[in-house]
Amino acid sequence: MFPHALTLKAKFFPRVLAGALLTLICASPARAWWDGEWTERKKITLDIPAAAIPEAVSATPVLIRLHDGNFSFTAVKPDGGDLRFVAEDDKTVLAYHVEKFDPLLNEALIWVKLPDLKPGAKASIWLYYGNAGAKAVRADDPKGTYDADTVLVYHFTEHGAPAVDASGNGNNSANAGSFADDAMIGSGLRLDGKSLMTLPVSPSLAWADGGVLTWSLWFKPTALPGDAIIFSRREGRNAFVIGADKGMPYVEISGASGPQRATASAPVTVNAWHHLAVTAAGGKITLYLDGDSVATLAAALPALNSAAIIGGDSVMAAGTTGLVGEVDELQIAKVARNASFIKLAASVQGGAADKLIAFSPEELPKDWLSWLKGGYFGIIISSLTLDGWVVIGILMVMSAISWVVMLNKISYLNGLSRGNTLFMKEWGHIANDLTVLDHGDEDRTKTLGGRVDAQGMRALRSSSVYRIYQIGSSEIRHRLAADRSGKVLSARSIQAIRASLDGGIVRESQKLNRMIVLLTIAISGGPFLGLLGTVVGVMITFAAVAAAGEVNVNAIAPGIAAALLATVAGLAVAIPALFGYNYIVTRVKDATSDMHVFIDEFVTKMAEYYSEPAAQSRTLTRAPFGPSEPRG
């Protein structure tokens, strides 16, 4: 029998393994995940100091720049269709639209509508991607990205075509402009002082007398002439003009009382981008440069419903010219934004964005298969078909069984080896005096004449040689008790005892080899079962290609890779089982040899000590494992 401790271990280990698997399967995700079809996500945090934004900012579009330094373009669809933005609660989907997405240059410009921002508080959103399914289609919503007060947004991404209004109000420009690559935000509009871009006349762009307004634009002058007009709008005596006088930005209002101008106190830098904004509300015009208020004018916005012009004026006075340089990101709203809104726009759209917007590392769904879902393994696992999962499931069961067998068998052999070593050490002391074997006290016989204490007896219970010794000593006591002629065993009795010892070694060999057949099944059956899964998976993949009617390596490769996973699983089952089997078989042979050697020594000592002189001679010359000789 197995030792008591080893028996408990053999019963306990499978329960622990099953409990661990059940815990993994039932484990819930560590954090909420918006949609399980999206395999990766990244947290984006906007951290604006309270001093920069002293007031709350209502829902506003924020520019998110993606590049190699903060985003992996290999994990997203080529058209960016699987991009999704979710609020910090991981439930609310945010409106967004893509200004630029270039997977070749690994660059993307995306406008995301953030919830209300509070002064001094961080705002976080989630960027989800990594969904190659049909559900992941472009979900751009330009109109939803901006609020209802935004009436015009030009990104200037058009090449040789009129500028398109991204606000959804349809206020596209009347003519095309000159394209400028690598502007402040993607592409921009190049101005030479003569070429103009005209905005349309539309109800949404009409300004009432004393109305409210927010106008903003990025501009980069390449020269600083006397009076360079950036934006103008005229209707009769009324006019609204924004320009730079010798590099100093200004806003000019004309009405019944004539022109009035507010000018910044310092010129801008040539060949550098600057954010320019103007607000009108309550009879006050405010000029902002790079997010800071630089000039104010006590005047009301005049009524205007004419075409506006970018890069010049419809009436060029003496000494004035159009802007020479580049402009980008024109936005007009029919509401006066607060200073924090303008400061935020100038900050997150400009060069300080990298300091204000932080990207966390990519995250995978936090479930028990998270470690399998990244990189190449993620592609293989996601492409695995039902038949492949069935085969791999069977192989996992086979692997678990083979590991349980190997661990239990090695533990059993270790205990057996320790017990055999202890027994042979004590047997050497009594081998030359076998009186302990015929002693009437059975407990004295079991303890080898009292040489082994209780702790040693626990170790001896694991010894196969000790169990054979017990068989031999028991036979000797019974036969000597039945034979009143003294301490003499006949040749027939010695042969009978030898037969009992041979029966004991057969039973011990059966214990040693028990369950090893499961390892041979894993060794031979694992690879064949894995190969079956691979063949079926390849057949299904090619059948799907035939049904689709076209050959696409991107569609075939994941299926083939997933099919080969079954063969890998089969080898993963067979290889450890093969090594374990060879190790265990070697240990079993050694244990069997120890038993054979002990039986030969035991029978020899018994014949010398208990046999009749004539019978002793015959017994000693008999082959250890040959047939018994008839007596007389």
H or E element that contains 42:
strand 40-46
pLDDT at 173: 96
Q: What is the distance between the alpha carbons of residues 303 and 235, in angstroms, rounded to a whole number?
A: 8
Taking residues 96-108, what's their average pLDDT?
A: 92
Q: Which CATH number fits domain 150-334: 2.60.120.200, 3.50.50.60, 3.30.565.10, 3.30.420.40?
A: 2.60.120.200
Helical spans, DSSP H, in 27-157 = 142-145
> 374 in helix, strand or coil?
coil
| H helices present in 109-219, as ranges | 142-145
By C-alpha distance, which of 226, 273, 268, 234 is closest to 249? 268
pLDDT at 486: 59
Highest mean pLDDT among 49-58, 504-513, 538-547: 504-513
Q: What does 432-453 look like in DSSP terms, one character per residue?
A: T-GGGTT-S-HHHHHTTTTTS-
Question: Cβ-count burial of 354 within 10 angstroms (0-12 exposed, 13-18 middle, 19+ buried)?
Answer: exposed
Q: 42 with 84: CB under 8 angstroms?
A: no
For residue 285, what is the DSSP state?
Answer: E
Residues of the chain with CATH 2.60.120.200: 150-334
Check: pTM over 0.85? Answer yes or no. no
C-alpha span between 625 and 233 (Å, rounded): 118
Q: pLDDT tens digits for 198-233?
A: 999 999 999 999 999 999 999 999 988 789 999 999
- Is residue 437 pLDDT above 90, yes or no? no
Q: CA–CA separation, 597 vs 562, rounded Å?
A: 53
Q: Are 285 and 274 in contact (CB under 8 A)?
A: no
CB 254 within 8 A of CB 237: yes
Q: What number is the average pLDDT over the span 595-614?
A: 79
- Neighbouring C-beta atoms of residue 515, cutoff 10 Å: 16
pLDDT classification of 25: cutoffs 50, 70, 90 = very low
d(CA 472, CA 361): 71
